[in-house]
Amino acid sequence: MNVLVTGGCGYIGSHACVALHHAGHTPIVLDNYSNSHPSVVGRIEELNGTPLTVYQSDIRDSKALARVFAEQDIGAVMHFAGLKAVGESVAKPLEYYDNNVTGTLNLLAAMREAQVSKLIFSSSATVYGDPAVVPIDEHSQTGGTTNPYGTSKYMVERCLADFANANSDWSITLLRYFNPIGAHPSGRIGEDPSGIPNNLMPFITQVAIGRREALSIFGNDYPTEDGTGVRDYIHVEDLVDGHVAALEKRGDVAGLHVYNLGTGNGVSVLQMVNAMNGVLGRDLPVRMEARRAGDIAECFANPAKAEQELGWKAKYSLTDMVEHSWNWQQSNPNGYQS
C-alpha cells in the first residue's frame, strides 16, 4: 500500500518511513522541512534500499496536497506534520493552532476529495491535561489541557471524531503518544531539533557531546519521588511499530479508534539523567531551573488496549533508549549537519 507520510522527514516520520517499508508498504513523504532536514531523505533511502518519493510542501497548501493525491495512488495517510514543543506553544499559540488544526483540516479535505478514507493521526498524551489518576487509559478524561500544543491536539481529535461520526465508512485512528526518545539502532536517523531542544533526551545528548554547557532541569519541587517531572518514555522504534500495527489491524475497520502508545512505566528526569550517566561512565553537568509554563508533575500510560487490540507492546528497555540516543548523537555530533 502507498502511505502518505506527512512530516515524513521529521523525527518520528522518518522512522515510520523505514518501518512502513519493512512491513511491505511504500511511504510517500510530504514535508516542508520546518523542523527536519533534506538529508534525511538519503538516509531513509539507505536504510530502505529503495528511492523515496518526496514532496516538499506544507499541509496548509491545498493545491500541493491535491497534486500529491492526483499523482500518487494513496491508500492511507499517516499524519505526523505538526509543531510539537510545549514551551514554544505557550509563546506562539497562533502558529500552533494554524499549523496543527488548520493544517489537519486541510489535509482531511484533500483526503475526502481524493476518496482516501484511512487516517492515522499523531496525537499526544497532552490531551489528558494534568491527570487526576495515573496510569492513564483511553477512557481518562480529555480536554483539560495545560498548553496550546495540547489544546491543538485535543481540538484536532474532536474534529476527527465529529468527522468520523458523519462519515461512517472512514477509518480514523488517534494514537496518543507519551514521550518518544531513542533512535534507529543503526544511528543513521534520530532526533535533531532546530535550535535549543525542547525535549529532554536531545538536550541530554547535546550536553553529553559538548554542544551545550549543562542540562537545565525545569522544576525539582513537583510532588514526585525526587521532585522532578515523571513521564512515560517510549522508544521511537516501538512507537512507529504501533503505527504500522494500527494501519494493518484497524485500517480496514470503519470508525474512530483510540490508543495510548507508551510503556506503562513512569521515569523521572533525574532517573533519565542517571541512566545516561551510567551509559557515559561520567556525570553530566546539571542546572536546576524554575518550572516551565504548561508542564505537569507526572504522566504515564496504561497501554493495555493497544496490546489487546493491535497485538502491540513496547519492547525496548530504558537502557536501549538511552544507548540508541547516545549512539545517534555520537555518530552525528551536529545532527544532520554533521
Q: Could you give the C-alpha distances from 35 to 193, 197, 231, in angstroms and in order?
A: 7, 11, 23
Contact between residue 316 and residue 245 where contact means Cβ atoms under 8 Å apart: no
Residue 38 CA to residue 41 CA, distance in Å, equals 6
Residue 319 CA to residue 248 CA, distance in Å, equals 29
Residue 100 CA to residue 237 CA, distance in Å, equals 24
Nearest to 173 by CA among 137, 120, 122, 124: 120
Instruction: Find the angle CA(314)-CA(319)-CA(325) to the nearest 5 degrees.
Output: 90
**Residue 119 pairs with which residues in a beta bridge?**
77, 172
Instruction: Look at residue 131 and give its three-state secondary structure.
Output: coil
Residue 28 CA to residue 39 CA, distance in Å, equals 16
Q: Could you give the C-alpha distances from 181 to 89, 140, 192, 318, in angstroms and in order?
A: 20, 24, 11, 10
Q: What is the largest CA-CA distance in the chain?
A: 56
> Active site residue: 11, 97, 128, 149, which one?
149
**149 catalytic, yes or no?**
yes
Cell numbers linked to 161: 471524531
**Residue 124 pairs with which residues in a beta bridge?**
177
HSE on the CB side for 279, CA within 13 Å?
20
The catalytic site residues sit at 149
